[in-house]
Amino acid sequence: MLRRRLGISFWLAIAWLALMAFVALFAPILPLTDPTQVAFGGPRESPSLDAWFGTDALGRDVFSRTMHGARISLAVGGFAIAFGMLIGGGLGILAGYFRGLLDQTVRFAFFVLLSFPALVLAILITATLERSLLVVSLTIGILAVAPVGLLSRASTLVFAEREFVAAARVLGARHGRIIMRELLPNVVIPMGALALLGMAIAVVAEGSLAFLGLSVAGDDSISWGKMIVDGSGLRDLQNAAHVALFPVLVMFVTVLALNFAGDRIRQHFDVKELAF
């Protein structure tokens, strides 16, 4: 049933994402060359059987680097959206359930958060703190808080009006129980339906920070954004476009798969998208 409604292209997208997740998890123990090994091949070699995606300016294996790059991109993407859902989703439910002053405060906070252009806010945070994996994930997670929070608040408002919540209240259930047992399961569905779409945005945001050299610091931290900026110097593009274009391609397909699968799931659960 689910299979038929979602269609073959949905499962293709999921398969790609599973592959990327697998590669990201097991990159260190997969039979890949050392991504940091300088002069694995000559500088800027075209793709060959030895180096499927060619080599970069320092002679490093672009294929191996691209695969390892999935680690940071997906980790940050996944962690950020999880954080956004935990904090934003939680605040949204509380605001939508209790209404009143709490609701107004939370909404104002969301409004303020949304008043910063996302990347600018991210830069402000990363500028003041050490750029570790945790900080970068949290930073992008904070960007997700307001949109996710508004969504969960909106769906809480809908469900809080329904009979089963009123019934629970009449039966004397405590707030905590109503929220956990009655509201959460219903609000998680629309939020979860948007998780993949949110992750696509988070992956792009991490890539953007990395492109600017503001993502996870350290020479051995490989990320798609960083690879693309390294390969997009005019000389590299001119003579060895593959250095930039392969990570671009892999990243594009990943984001496309996230968007596509996410959009299908959203349609499946009939969740209206918020315009952010």
Partner 1 sequence: MRFLARRLLLLVAVLLAVTFCGFSAMNLLGDPLTNVVGVLAELDCDAIAAGTAPDTTVDAASSDCDTVAAARAQYHLDRAVPMRYLLWLGDLAIGDFGTSFQNDQPVSAVLREKLPETLLLLVMAQIVSLGIAVPWGVIAAYKANRAFDRGSTVASFGLLSVPNFALGVILLYLLALRWQIFPSAYESGDFTSRLFSLILPALTLGLPLAASYQRLLRTDLITTLQEDYVHMARAKGLPPMRIMFRHALRPSMFSVVTVFGVSTGTLIGGSLIVERIFGIPGIGREIVTAVVRDDFPVVLAIVMVVAIAFVVLNFLVDLLYSWLDPRVRTS
State how far the Cα of 108 lies from the Cα of 122, in Å rounded to an integer.
20
- Given a contact cutoff of 8 angstroms between Cβ atoms, the answer to whether 64 and 47 are in contact is no
State how far the Cα of 166 lies from the Cα of 180, in Å rounded to an integer.
15
Residue 206, Cβ neighbours under 10 Å: how many? 28
Least distance from C-beta 129 to partner 1, angstroms? 6
Beta carbon nearer to partner 1, 132 or 189: 132
Beta carbon nearer to partner 1, 8 or 275: 275
DSSP notation for 189-220: HHHHHTHHHHHHHHHHHHHHHHHTT-SS-STT
Least distance from C-beta 204 to partner 1, angstroms? 4
216: left (phi over 0), alpha (psi -120 to 50) or beta: beta
Least distance from C-beta 26 to partner 1, angstroms? 25
Contact residues for partner 1 (CB under 8 A)? 108, 111-112, 114-121, 123-129, 200, 204, 207-208, 211-214, 225, 228-229, 231-232, 234, 237-238, 241, 244-245, 248, 251-252, 255-256, 259-260, 263, 275-276
Beta carbon nearer to partner 1, 183 or 200: 200
Residue 112, Cβ neighbours under 10 Å: how many? 10
Using DSSP's 3-state secondary structure scheme, residue 82 falls into helix
Least distance from C-beta 212 to partner 1, angstroms? 5
Beta carbon nearer to partner 1, 35 or 225: 225
Question: Which amino acid appears at position 15 of this protein?
Answer: A
Least distance from C-beta 143 to partner 1, angstroms? 10
Beta carbon nearer to partner 1, 109 or 168: 109
